[in-house]
Amino acid sequence: MIFKEIKPQSHYNHGYSDSLGRKSHIDDYSTWDIVKATQYGIYERCRELVEAGYDVRQPDKENVTLLHWAAINNRIDLVKFYISKGAIVDQLGGDLNSTPLHWATRQGHLSMVVQLMKYGADPSLIDGEGCSCIHLAAQFGHTSIVAYLIAKGQDVDMMDQNGMTPLMWAAYRTHSVDPTRLLLTFNVSINLGDKYHKNTALHWAVLAGNTTVISLLLEAGANVDAQNIKAWPSDGGFSYFSSLHECFV
């Protein structure tokens, strides 16, 4: 099986920015629909529309709920309001069939992750690419969210649908010291191999040319003799010795 990259979700174009966070006293929000008002955090307009009969569970034409839009834009007051009106905290939606917690995690909104989990959001649910929240946090470099999820009981060695652990994702996608360094402090199984390739975190770091993480893994005692599912050199697989050489030379 060929490994698939996690795809960016098109809805993230509507994530929080400074321009979305600012409101002018001369702006007129009275004609805004509830999705736009949610994205921009216009609480009074959203409350007006809900009280007029809008069903907070109703997804839009992209199969995205108001709770998703509130989560991705870090609108904590609206999340509280929508849940009080019956919004489903773990509703699936969007291109990747994700929960609002998945969306908040991808965007790195720790405060929103904390809030949603207080309302019972389940971080172990997988999205359409087979990832739970700790895998998303690791691959997007959101170290504080990784730490929070571990503190809340998520398994540091949890495998996603492809057998990738948070450490593997961090090694492959995050070219910085953390979250790899953080994960190593939790006694991760550093030499685990993924389900399909039998690549360990060090394999993934080498494949990505992630020299920072390669150094961390070697210092932590990663096995440089481990091989992936193909035996090297007889049938074209590779060992760490050959891969590290190719990476640094």
Q: For Cα atoms 17, 130, 122, give the angle at the middle one, nearest 5 degrees.
A: 70
- pLDDT exceeds cutoff 50 at 212: yes
- In this predicted structure, what is the pLDDT of residue 229? 86
CATH number, domain at 237? 1.25.40.20
Beta carbons of 127 and 102 less than 8 angstroms apart: yes
Instruction: Using the CB atoms, write b or e for 98-133: b if 16+ within 10 Å.
Output: bbbbbbbbbbbbbebbebbbebebebeebbebbbbb
- pLDDT exceeds cutoff 50 at 18: no
Task: Specify whether 123 is located in the same domain as 162.
Answer: no
> What pLDDT, in 10s, does the model give residues 73-132?
999 999 999 999 999 999 999 999 999 999 999 999 999 999 999 999 999 999 999 999
**What would the mean pLDDT of 196-214 be, rounded to a whole number?**
96
Residue 147 lies in a domain: no
- In this predicted structure, what is the pLDDT of residue 77? 98
Q: How many domains does the chain have?
A: 2
Task: Specify whether 92 is located in the same domain as 168.
Answer: no
pLDDT category at 230 given cuts 50, 70, 90 is: confident
180: left (phi over 0), alpha (psi -120 to 50) or beta: alpha
Residue 84 lies in a domain: yes
Q: How far apart are CA 178 and CA 25, in angstroms?
A: 41
- In this predicted structure, what is the pLDDT of residue 11? 59
Task: Specify whether 40 is located in the same domain as 104.
Answer: yes
Task: Specify whether 102 is located in the same domain as 179.
Answer: no
Residue 146 lies in a domain: no
- In this predicted structure, what is the pLDDT of residue 15? 64
- In this predicted structure, what is the pLDDT of residue 14? 59
**What would the mean pLDDT of 6-34 be, rounded to a whole number?**
62
Instruction: Domain of residue 225: give its range.
Output: 157-249
Beta carbons of 127 and 96 less than 8 angstroms apart: yes
Q: What is the mean pLDDT of the chain?
A: 88
